[in-house]
Amino acid sequence: MTLLHCLRSSLPDPSSTSNIPLIALTSLTTLSLLHLTRLALSAPALTTRGPTSTLLPHLAQAAREGLEYPPDILPGGRDVDTPYGSIRVHEWGPETGPKILMVHGITTRCLALGGLAHGLVEKGYRVMLFDLFGRGYSDTPTTPPHDPRLYTTQLLLVLSSSSLPWCVPGGFALLGYSLGGGIASGFASYFPHLASTHEFAQQSPLLPATITESWLVWLCERRLLAGPMYAKENKAPASVLDAELPGQEGVPNPDFTPLSLTRPYLTVPEAVQWQLRHHPGFVPAFLSCIRYAPITGQQEIWERLRRGRTDEVLLVVGTEDPIVLPNEVREDAEKLLGEGRVRYVEVGAAHDFVVTDVGEVVGAVVEFLEGEEGRVE
């Protein structure tokens, strides 16, 4: 008896009705295994979509306008489609005015720089702000780490999205706040010819390299969801993130400048909580930033920046910041960039001085760019 004959004799007779349930069960099992195998072998999603895709399409126009944190909270908004996902960009101001690209910090999306941007536009500048990946209305790439390579690419994508010539030699000034200072300095170190000047408002603090991910998740949720920001007396990891994450309470100066002219009472903590509720990619992006973003060990970047440029850099710090100590920042910057290369300005406030002391920061930036007159001619 041949092997083929043996195999055939062992199989159920398809013509027999008594074998139909067995055949059906075998077919169903095979299809289920094929489906599970396909799911196991399929590539994961490359992008976690933000509120632009997950929230806005499901809202009527009236509901959109009633959002506590609408997409048009700043002027000149546009959504830029890129291979890494959509990026929310805001660009406004005189088209012929000097240009400033502004990069926000680790949690707050570009709204935190809204008051500063409005102040600079009033002085005659054209500004461009955008939401870093995973913040505000920008999507979150899931596969690449949120490191200087990703953020340098994002800056180039944002700059190239404008109808005006930004990517030309000396085409714009570069201003970064907190984590944005590290991102801006990294970008400028590789493309020194594009930015005319560099302004860093409170360079990012140092973090230990041994923080566990579970601890980060717990601390992230704790600090983002509740609790005011107070000054700490030490550099423990919790106090480092306290300085980066705005709390629920804040007392701005009497001449407080609104972050948004359309939502003058919206605060940074409210915006952060809105992200937690409506942006599934926010916390993963935040954690990836803590691990991979330009927060620590930036000596190489500053050395490259020193070699690529010979002009002065503006460094603005808050005297009440519990983490980014002004004297240490100044000493490190002058050591890495060279004596006479750092214009150093102190603001009598904490880490969030770009929100609480807008007028003073605008004055420092304008004076640095335009001289004592403080205006664009």
Lowest average pLDDT, out of 145-149, 179-183, 322-326, goes to 322-326
330 or 363: which leads in pLDDT: 363
Quick check: 99 and 82 in contact, CB under 8 A? no
Three-state SS at 59 = coil
Q: Is pLDDT above 70 for 5?
A: no
42 domain residue, yes or no = no
Residue type for 264, please? P
17 domain residue, yes or no = no
Q: What total number of domains does the chain contain?
A: 1
Closest CA to 199 of 188, 210, 211: 188
291 domain residue, yes or no = yes
Closest CA to 126 of 102, 156, 96, 99: 99
Q: Is pLDDT above 70 for 42?
A: no
Helix (H) or strand (E) holding 360: helix 358-370
Query: Which pLDDT score is estimated for 53?
Result: 92
Chain-centre distance of CA 80, in angstroms?
A: 15
| CA–CA separation, 281 and 146 (whole Å) | 12
274 domain residue, yes or no = yes
Over the stretch 316-356, which tens digit does the pLDDT of each residue have?
A: 988 887 767 777 788 888 888 887 888 889 888 888 888 88
Closest CA to 277 of 325, 206, 240, 225: 225
Query: Which pLDDT score is estimated for 9?
Result: 57
What is the bridge-based pairing of β-strands 126-130 and 99-103? Answer: parallel
Q: Which structural domain, as residue segments, surrounds residue 212?
A: 47-370
What is the bridge-based pairing of β-strands 85-92 and 77-82? Answer: antiparallel
Q: What is the CATH number of the domain that holds 203?
A: 3.40.50.1820
27 domain residue, yes or no = no
Residue type for 22, please? L
Q: Is pLDDT above 60 for 129?
A: yes
Over the stretch 265-320, which tens digit does the pLDDT of each residue have?
A: 777 778 888 888 899 999 899 889 888 888 766 778 888 888 877 788 898 988 88
| CA–CA separation, 151 and 170 (whole Å) | 20
Q: Quick one: average pLDDT of 354-370?
A: 90
315 domain residue, yes or no = yes
Q: Is pLDDT above 80 for 242?
A: no
Query: Which pLDDT score is estimated for 206?
Result: 37
377 domain residue, yes or no = no
Query: Would you tell me how many other CB atoms lie within 10 Å of the CB of residue 227?
Result: 14
13 domain residue, yes or no = no
Over the stretch 196-225, which tens digit does the pLDDT of each residue have?
A: 877 777 655 434 444 455 555 555 555 555
| CA–CA separation, 179 and 176 (whole Å) | 7
Three-state SS at 184 = helix
| CA–CA separation, 346 and 122 (whole Å) | 23
Mean pLDDT highest for which of 36-45, 111-120, 329-338?
111-120
Closest CA to 299 of 350, 257, 345, 333: 333
Tokens linked to 81: 């489609």
Quick check: 137 and 79 in contact, CB under 8 A? yes
268 or 98: which leads in pLDDT: 98
248 or 308: which leads in pLDDT: 308
Query: Which pLDDT score is estimated for 68?
Result: 80
| CA–CA separation, 229 and 252 (whole Å) | 13
